[in-house]
Amino acid sequence: MARIDDGHPTIIDFAAMPSGETPLYWEKEVTPPGLSGGGPNETTTMRNATWRTNAPKKLITMAPGSFLASYDPEVMDQMLSLLNVNNLITVTYPDGSTYAFWGWLDEFTPNACVEGEQPTAVCSIQPSNQNANGVETAPVLTPAA
């Protein structure tokens, strides 16, 4: 296992991309989904003497991810076909390792088009942690070969 020293290139692929179509977006910045323990369960009682006490929760939350991309205007049809469609999403890191998880494209928001700047859009990804059959499915990290 090696440390990644440069984030270029990191890309996102959707298994639900219409068959045979090439994505009409090009990632400029990628924020992979994060992980959260969900905060503490408070366990303080009237028998505590000095300190409030807490315990960790049992379940883990996979936080949303996002990416900033340039795009072809025809991407709107692709984004419409991906919105709210639970599918396998794969983040590929510069070293070739992948992080695959179930989720959906939750938002495609174009930024302002400005003279002298490439148009971009922000795309939000919501992890579902359940496969197409509704079965709880953990994300899978596959190390680089």
> Collapsing DSSP states into helix, strand and coil, what is residue 40?
strand
pLDDT band at 145 (very low <50, low <70, confident <90, very high): confident
Q: What is the mean pLDDT of the chain?
A: 97
Q: Which domains does the chain possess?
A: 11-36+61-142 (2.40.30)
Please tell me the predicted confidence (pLDDT) of residue 88.
98
pLDDT value at 1 more than 80 = no
pLDDT average, residue stretch 84-99:
98
State the pLDDT confidence band at 19, using cuts at 50, 70 and 90. Answer: confident
Torsion over CA: 8, 118, 127, 40 (sign):
positive
Contact 18, 81 (CB under 8 A): yes
Q: Using the CB atoms, write b or e for 116-145: b if 16+ within 10 Å.
A: eeeebbebebbbbbeeeeeeebebeeeeee
Which pLDDT tens digit goes with each residue over 22-69? 999 999 999 999 999 999 999 999 999 999 999 999 999 999 999 999
Contact 34, 126 (CB under 8 A): no
The two structure tokens encoding residue 80: 């419409």
| CA gap 36, 60 in Å, rounded | 6
- 3-class DSSP state of 95: coil
Model pTM score = 0.93
Name the pLDDT band for 2 (thresholds 50, 70, 90). Answer: confident
H or E element that contains 69: strand 65-71
